[in-house]
Structure 1
Amino acid sequence: MPAEVKSPRARYREQTRAEIKAAALQQVAEGGATALALTRIAKEMGLSGPALYRYFAGRDDLLNELIRDAYDDLAQAIVRVGTSTVGTPRTALHALADACLDWATAEPHRYLLIQGTPVPGYAAPPDTLERARAALGPFLTVFAAGDPVDAYRPTVDEMAVWLRQDGAVADWVAAHTDRPAHEAAAATALAGAVVAWSQLHGTVSLAVSGQYEGMGHRPRTLLTGQMDALADGFRLT
């Protein structure tokens, strides 16, 4: 099917929106999300305030787009590694964790947009949940091969209940593991992915926000040890 041919007006609108987002990201990089000011962006671009609002309804609308883009880029970085990694589940786990750390340290201001609340009172749009799950999906594949030690059994049991209660989560897990929700491997995969995501973002968030500076270690060294310990906890080969 031939690609849709966009009108000059549509192309101009897309280009202008992209330029607005680029200017917004520059502001965020320089001063954090609270520094985002649409009036300043309009002035820099030679637009009037009302003209800019034809492209974004307000600050939160612009933030929504920046957050969606950040989630999509992070997911692409992780999925790209997940689909190209060969070897054992343990090797794949390390590759996925490294991909997240690499992206976050290269794009710290964008990473911080998707962790926590970027500005007081802001609520992310509901569709960011699906974007976050896209980034987490490859971890499900890794842990589907796991055999958790006793310490992780309570978490696996709780994930099994979640799978029975939430059809959307069950479908998401099945799509990445080829295992129906009632099988133990599905709950194991979900438990491993959630624990990995928790440990990963704990370390990455502290690294990106500069909390490890002066502590005498590299975040990647810490992350490698955490992922190895987690792989041991799920008996990944």
Structure 2
Amino acid sequence: GGRKEGEELPYTGDGEVINSECEGLSINGLSVEEAKAKVVAHLETKGAGSLKTNYKLRDWLFSRQRYWGEPFPIVFGNDGKPIPVPTDQLPVTLPEVESYEPSGTTEGPLSTVQNWVQTTLPDGSGPARRETNTMPQWAGSCWYYLRFLDPGNVGAPIDPEVEKYWMPVDLYLGGAEHAVLHLLYARFWHKVLYDCGVVHTKEPFQRLVNQGLILGPIEHTRFLDPETGDAISAQEVKEEAANTFV
């Protein structure tokens, strides 16, 4: 911050470090990056620390006890061991239900749909029970940018030629909070898909722009009844003539 001599606008670049010295170490006069490097080198020399990159990847509970969401393609035999549903039996789809309210137990709503839950082992050798938890909204958002390119494909996530033509994404526009949420998880999924040979790029997005926050004033608008001053619902606005409201 502050102004440099001869400039009218505040200086917004990186300044020089000042008042930063102790016994055996001074970083005065250095840029921030130079100062960081010198501090790390000093700590490494003394055996007191080292340079480490922390991606802040948080624990991720990847299941939800609710109806909507992608079903996990997992079944359990009588011995309780999880068994993945084979590729030729995918996708596992949600059952059509009249109610998807909570089950009232520790299991999700799907546990009440017995004609869906009760199934057979993939090899047909005995009975099995489907996993009743579903995936969170993150599941779809981690690879939607690929599926949007080929949404009608029923045999694969995306056609290889379509993927090669369109990918990678030219520009990712999102808030800084995406850095340790959607952006990080989408990249993680993409790298797994790369290892599986589904995509041809190691990174899904070529360029990232954090657009920042809108700091201008917010205008609040409400429809009010001219006689009572009560708020009027959007449905009432739709059904009545616009000139009856103020």
The answer to which structure has the higher strand fraction is: 2
Larger Rg: 2
Which TM-score bucket, shorter chain as reference? under 0.3
Q: Flag the structure with higher helix content.
A: 1
Scaled by the length of structure 2, what TM-score is found? 0.21
